[in-house]
C-alpha cells in the first residue's frame, strides 16, 4: 500500500500503466519491505542485496554455475538468511559441500508439466497499434471485466495475426511479435494450446505520437495441455 501511495504522489496529474511498470521496476527492495510485516517477499537475487531475512528459499532451476559472477550472486543470496536457508536446485553443484550443517534431500520422483495454466498479459504482450482501429475501439468500449473471450485470428496481406475475439464475433486484440516469439511459440512447442481468454483489465494507453489515449484490453489466457492418444 505504501508503494502505491508513493506512486500516486510522484504521478499526481496523470497515471498511466506504463508509468506504473517503470516505477516498480526501479524501486529498491527496502522501499517495498516493512520490517514489522510477516509478508512473504518474492525478489530476484540482485534485488535482495543489502537486506536480511529470517528464512530464505532460493530457487535455482537450470542455473549456470560455470561463471564466477553467477557464483558470487548465489553467495549474496545465501548470505541473506539469518535463521534458515532452503535451496531448490536441479544441479549437483552443492553436492561437494561437506558440512554437518547442510542436509541434502534428493527428489527421486517424476515431475510432469501442469495440465493447464493461466497467464495475465501486460501491455508489451499485445499489439497496441491494433487497438487504434475504429471497429476495435467500439468492441473494446463495450467490454466488461471478466467477460469471456475466444481464440481468434486476423488475415493480413502477408501473414495471419493471432489474438482474441468476442464470443459473438469481432477481434478485440492481437498478440505482439514479442509475445508470439518469446512466449506463445514456447508454449505450443511444449504441447499447450490456447483454449480461451477473458478480460482481466481494461486500461488506457497513452500514445505519445498521437497525443491521445486509447482503451485497451489486458487479458488472462488459459492454455491447456494437448492430450496425446496412444495407439
Point out which residues pair with 126 in neighbouring strands: 175
Torsion of CA 223, 162, 203, 30, to 10 degrees: 50
Residue with cell 500503466: 17
Q: How far apart are CA 119 and CA 223, in angstroms?
A: 8
pLDDT < 50 positions in the chain: none
Q: Torsions phi, psi of 87, nearest 5?
A: -115, 120
The confidence score (pLDDT) of residue 120 equals 92
Write down the pTM of the prediction. 0.62
- What confidence score (pLDDT) does residue 73 get? 92
Residue 102's pLDDT is 83
Q: What would the pLDDT profile of 21-58 be if each residue is shown by its tens digit?
A: 666 665 555 555 555 556 677 778 887 777 788 899 99
How much is the pLDDT for 33?
55
CA distance 231 to 153: 33
Amino acid at each position: 500500500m505504501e508503494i502505491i501511495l508513493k506512486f500516486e504522489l510522484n504521478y499526481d496529474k496523470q497515471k498511466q500503466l506504463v508509468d506504473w511498470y517503470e516505477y516498480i521496476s526501479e524501486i529498491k527492495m527496502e522501499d517495498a519491505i516493512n520490517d514489522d510485516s510477516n509478508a512473504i517477499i518474492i525478489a530476484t537475487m540482485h534485488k535482495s542485496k543489502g537486506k536480511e531475512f529470517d528464512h530464505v528459499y532460493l530457487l535455482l532451476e537450470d542455473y549456470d554455475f560455470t561463471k564466477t559472477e553467477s557464483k558470487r550472486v548465489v553467495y549474496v543470496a545465501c548470505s541473506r538468511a539469518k535463521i534458515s536457508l532452503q535451496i531448490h536446485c536441479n544441479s549437483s553443484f552443492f553436492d561437494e559441500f561437506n558440512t554437518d550443517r547442510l542436509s541434502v534431500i534428493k527428489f527421486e520422483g517424476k515431475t510432469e508439466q501442469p495440465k493447464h495454466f493461466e497467464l495475465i498479459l501486460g501491455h508489451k504482450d499485445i499489439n497496441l497499434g491494433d487497438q487504434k482501429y475504429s471497429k476495435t475501439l467500439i468492441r473494446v468500449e463495450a467490454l466488461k471485466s471478466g467477460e469471456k473471450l475466444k481464440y481468434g485470428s486476423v488475415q493480413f496481406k502477408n501473414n495471419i495475426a493471432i489474438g482474441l475475439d468476442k464470443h459473438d464475433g469481432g477481434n478485440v486484440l492481437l498478440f505482439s511479435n514479442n509475445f508470439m516469439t518469446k512466449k506463445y511459440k514456447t508454449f505450443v512447442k511444449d504441447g499447450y494450446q490456447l483454449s480461451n481468454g477473458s478480460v482481466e483489465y481494461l486500461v488506457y494507453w497513452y500514445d505519445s505520437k498521437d497525443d491521445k489515449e486509447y482503451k485497451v484490453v489486458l487479458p488472462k489466457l488459459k492454455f491447456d495441455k494437448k492430450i496425446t492418444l496412444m495407439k
